[in-house]
């Protein structure tokens, strides 16, 4: 009997459960994708050189996604339970024991979790098999080897994790509902929560919220000063500041608009009354949605931005693309086919603790460098965007011998000494050659550079001095970040939009009577639809505006790692808002389907 009641409850609210399912399915699907890419040992071993560091990125993304999903599960389940409160109250009035109601709640929650997790793994398997390798190969720049979309440990981890999350949520829901009075369960949804304008309290909340946001924005804009403390400071101040501002300003604006002449036109007063009816509950969800919007937009923007700076970062890391010791004839032929910006060959002789170079060669073709500071120095961003190559004099080279030692492949700890041609020729050791070259465009010549590495016997990229090794490693690292950022952004978007959609639809059943009354007193269907569209648009637009402001300040944290965090920011914003507005349109359609009367009264 208990099982029948549980499944009957899910069946009766199937359309509402689909909203929850979509967010959970996207979350578990993307978690499976990250987990399969981060833990598949055969795949990591076969592509170790191409995806060095990327597996850690995917693991980090999976952890971050788990934390956000935990919050989403609690919110989504609380909405589902609010829709079932009346049913549970009726069961208790008919004599059902609290323990049985608790079992029913836990059974329903675990059923939802199991279905969503299994479907999510299947969707994740499909994404991993299709979109995953395509995007990875595009971002990392090479074809993946031994890639398998199905990885059993990742399947088990995903299902177990999400069942644990739902078990925790189910236990909390069971405890909350069984401790609630029957009358409150039956009538809780119809209790209005009308806001009362309290000028002093509202003003204090606005001031406190603004101060908290300013502190958070200041910390994010001065990450050099606060270092790792920026993240906890930003999280606490921005979250609390957002809640205070929503709770104060949103209530204030609605009441002020209701008192204006503007509210007396059409159904605007009704729309404002609808918003104010459950205003305090909305402020909580709108605060959460605005934070999730910031995380979603930030993840997509930073991921795409980091991938775009790979070439600039690599070019600024060294004045030469490669440094090759004693290149073969085949290697030299491949080098000469490149679009070269510069090429030089120095003779050297290697003794026990010293590497000798001819001073006349270094004077005729001076060694070039990009600077003595780190390429990630926040004050050196202009050099990253357009590096300036300068020549080292003999005196400067003696003061900074590391500039030449860094270009010595597999160099032991030896010192550099410049000698005359006569002294060089007298040294009783074999003469060797060090060839240095720089291409005009790393991205355009990456295929030819890979052939040069193959002609050298495919040594590990890390052992080849120059910008090319940085390019390969950065492509893997930032390509992984772009991949993670894009899918994390999509997961956050699915969850935040589902939360907001579910919150709006959860009150649709009680709103139905109001729209039927408006229909009976002569309101036109177009007016009713316009009122619904405006009401829901406000609930979608407000958190979007706040979330965008959070992102604009939050991107300041990445100034030390990126050339320009705001470069072509329109692209991720466009992707996000197109998907966001699709959710808005779907929400309006679902809401209209629930609340609009099926019969239009003759006017």
**Contacts with 521 (C-beta within 8 Å, 6 or more apart), sequence order:** none
Show the CA angle centred on residue 453, arms to residues 449 and 458, nearest 5°.
150
- Quick one: pLDDT at residue 384? 47
Q: Which candidate, 298, 300, 72, 82, places its Cα nearest to that of 189?
A: 82
How much of the chain is helix, strand and coil, in % rounded to 5? 70, 5, 20
Q: pLDDT tens across 290-323, in order?
A: 887 887 788 778 777 776 677 777 887 788 889 8
- Quick one: pLDDT at residue 382? 43
Q: Please name the helix (run of DSSP H) or strand (run of DSSP E) that holds residue 330, with its range, or none.
A: helix 329-336
Out of 118-127, 371-380, 421-430, 460-469, pick the least confident.
Answer: 371-380
Q: Kindly tell me the burial class for residue 225, based on how many C-beta atoms sit within 10 Å of its own C-beta (0-12, 13-18, 19 or more).
A: exposed
Q: Kindly tell me the burial class for residue 517, based on how many C-beta atoms sit within 10 Å of its own C-beta (0-12, 13-18, 19 or more).
A: exposed
Q: How many helices (H) and strands (E) does the chain have?
A: 26, 7
Q: pLDDT tens across 167-202, in order?
A: 887 787 777 666 666 555 555 555 555 555 567 777
Q: In what order do the strands lie in the sheet with 322-325?
A: 322-325, 431-439, 340-350, 354-358, 415-419
- Quick one: pLDDT at residue 383? 42
Q: Which candidate, 357, 359, 387, 353, places its Cα nearest to that of 373?
A: 387
Q: CA 67 from chain center: how many Å?
A: 13
Statement: the pTM of the whole predicted model exceeds 0.75? no
Residue 142 has pLDDT above 60, yes or no: no
> How far is the C-alpha of 468 from the C-alpha of 438, rounded, in Å?
10
Backbone angles phi and psi of 431, in degrees to 5: -80, 135
Mean pLDDT for 481-485 is 71
Show the CA angle centred on residue 303, arms to residues 300 and 309, nearest 5°.
135
The DSSP string of 246-307 is: IIIIIHHHHHHHHTSGGGGSTTHHHHHHHHHHTHHHHHHHHHHHHHHHHHHHHHHHHHHHHH
- Quick one: pLDDT at residue 381? 45
In this predicted model, which residue has the larger pLDDT, 176 or 371? 176
pLDDT band at 279 (very low <50, low <70, confident <90, very high): low
Q: Which residues of 430-448 are buried (b: 16+ CB within 10 A; e: fewer)?
A: eeeebbbbbbeebeebbee
> How far is the C-alpha of 492 from the C-alpha of 294, rounded, in Å?
9
Strand partners, 324: 435
Q: pLDDT tens across 23-35, in order?
A: 778 778 878 877 7
**Contacts with 132 (C-beta within 8 Å, 6 or more apart), sequence order:** 33, 37, 147, 149
Q: pLDDT tens across 526-573, in order?
A: 888 888 888 788 888 888 888 899 988 888 887 776 777 887 788 888
User: Do the strands 354-358 and 415-419 form a parallel or antiparallel pair, or are they unpaired?
Assistant: parallel
435, 408 Cβ separation under 8 angstroms: no
Show the CA angle centred on residue 234, arms to residues 232 and 235, nearest 5°.
65
Reported for 214-223, long-range contacts at CB under 8 A and 24+ positions apart, including other chains, are 216/241, 216/553, 217/553, 217/556, 220/553, 220/554, 220/556, 220/557, 221/553, 221/556, 223/556, 223/557, 223/559, 223/560
Q: At what angle do helices 279-308 and 54-93 cross, to 10 degrees?
A: 160
Q: pLDDT tens across 195-232, in order?
A: 555 677 777 888 888 899 899 888 888 887 777 778 78
Mean pLDDT for 452-470 is 85
pLDDT band at 480 (very low <50, low <70, confident <90, very high): low
442, 321 Cβ separation under 8 angstroms: yes
The torsion angle over the Cα atoms of residues 51, 56, 57 and 59, rounded to 10 degrees, is: 130
User: Do the strands 390-391 and 415-419 form a parallel or antiparallel pair, or are they unpaired?
Assistant: unpaired
Q: Kindly tell me the burial class for residue 137, based on how many C-beta atoms sit within 10 Å of its own C-beta (0-12, 13-18, 19 or more).
A: middle
Q: Which candidate, 382, 374, 377, places its Cα nearest to that of 312?
A: 382
Percentage with pLDDT > 90 across the chain: 1
Number of C-beta neighbours around residue 542 at 10 A: 19
Q: What is the overall mean pLDDT for the chain?
A: 76
Residue 477 has pLDDT above 50, yes or no: yes
Number of C-beta neighbours around residue 60 at 10 A: 16
pLDDT band at 505 (very low <50, low <70, confident <90, very high): confident
Residue 121 has pLDDT above 70, yes or no: yes
pLDDT band at 442 (very low <50, low <70, confident <90, very high): confident
Per-residue 3-state assignment (H helix, E strand, C coil) for 117-165: HHHHHHHHHHHHHCHHHHHHHHHHCCCCCCCCCCCHHHHHHHHHHHHHH
């Amino acid at each position: 009997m208990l099982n029948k009641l549980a499944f009957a409850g899910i069946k009766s609210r199937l359309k509402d459960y689909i909203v929850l399912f979509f967010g959970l399915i996207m979350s578990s699907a993307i978690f499976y994708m990250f987990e399969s890419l981060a833990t598949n040992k055969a795949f990591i071993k076969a592509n170790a050189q191409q995806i060095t560091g990327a597996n850690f990125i995917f693991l980090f993304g999976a952890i971050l996604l788990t934390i956000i999903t935990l919050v989403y599960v609690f919110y989504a389940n609380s909405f589902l339970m609010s829709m079932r409160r009346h049913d549970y109250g009726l069961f208790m009035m008919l004599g059902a024991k609290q323990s049985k109601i608790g079992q029913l709640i836990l059974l329903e929650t675990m059923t939802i979790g199991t279905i969503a997790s299994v479907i999510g793994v299947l969707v994740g398997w499909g994404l991993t098999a299709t979109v995953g390798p395509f995007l990875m190969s595009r971002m990392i720049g090479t074809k993946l080897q031994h890639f398998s979309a199905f990885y059993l440990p990742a399947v088990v981890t995903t299902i177990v994790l999400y069942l644990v999350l739902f078990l925790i949520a189910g236990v909390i829901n069971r405890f909350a509902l069984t401790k609630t009075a029957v009358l409150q369960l039956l009538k809780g949804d119809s209790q209005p929560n009308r806001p009362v304008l309290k000028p002093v309290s509202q003003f204090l909340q606005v001031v406190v919220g603004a101060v908290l946001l300013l502190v958070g924005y200041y910390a994010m804009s001065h990450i050099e000063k606060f270092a790792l403390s920026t993240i906890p400071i930003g999280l606490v101040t921005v979250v609390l500041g957002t809640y205070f501002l929503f709770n104060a300003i949103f209530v204030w604006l609605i009441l002020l608009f209701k008192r204006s002449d503007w509210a007396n036109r059409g159904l605007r007063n009704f729309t404002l009354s609808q918003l104010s009816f459950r205003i305090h509950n909305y402020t909580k969800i709108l605060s959460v949605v605005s934070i999730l919007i910031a995380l979603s937009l930030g993840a997509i923007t930073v991921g795409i931005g980091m991938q775009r700076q790979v070439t600039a970062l690599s070019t600024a890391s060294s004045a030469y693309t490669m440094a090759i010791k004693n290149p073969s004839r085949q290697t030299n032929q491949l080098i000469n086919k490149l679009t070269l910006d510069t090429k030089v060959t120095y003779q050297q002789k290697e003794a026990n603790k010293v590497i000798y170079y001819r001073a006349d060669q270094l004077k005729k073709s001076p060694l070039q460098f990009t600077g003595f500071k780190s390429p990630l120095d926040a004050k050196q961003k202009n050099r990253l965007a357009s590096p300036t190559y300068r020549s080292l004099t003999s005196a400067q080279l003696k003061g900074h011998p590391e500039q030449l030692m860094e270009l010595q492949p597999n160099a032991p700890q030896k010192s550099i000494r410049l000698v005359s041609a006569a002294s060089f020729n007298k040294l009783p050791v074999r003469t060797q050659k060090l060839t240095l070259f720089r291409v005009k465009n790393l991205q355009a010549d990456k295929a030819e550079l890979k052939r040069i590495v193959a002609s050298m016997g495919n040594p590990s990229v890390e052992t080849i001095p120059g910008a090319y090794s940085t390019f390969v490693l950065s492509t893997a690292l930032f390509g992984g970040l772009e991949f993670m950022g894009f899918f994390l952004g999509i997961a956050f978007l699915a969850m935040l939009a589902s939360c907001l959609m579910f919150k709006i639809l959860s009150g649709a059943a009680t709103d139905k009577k109001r729209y039927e009354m408006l229909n009976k007193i002569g309101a036109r269907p177009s007016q009713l639809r316009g009122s619904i569209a405006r009401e829901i648009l406000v609930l979608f637009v407000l958190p979007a505006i706040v979330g965008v402001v959070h992102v604009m300040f939050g991107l300041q944290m990445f100034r030390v790692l990126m050339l320009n965090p705001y470069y072509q920011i329109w692209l991720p914003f466009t992707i996000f808002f197109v998907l966001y507005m699709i959710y808005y349109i779907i929400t309006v359609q679902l809401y209209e389907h629930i609340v609009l009367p099926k019969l239009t009264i003759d006017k």
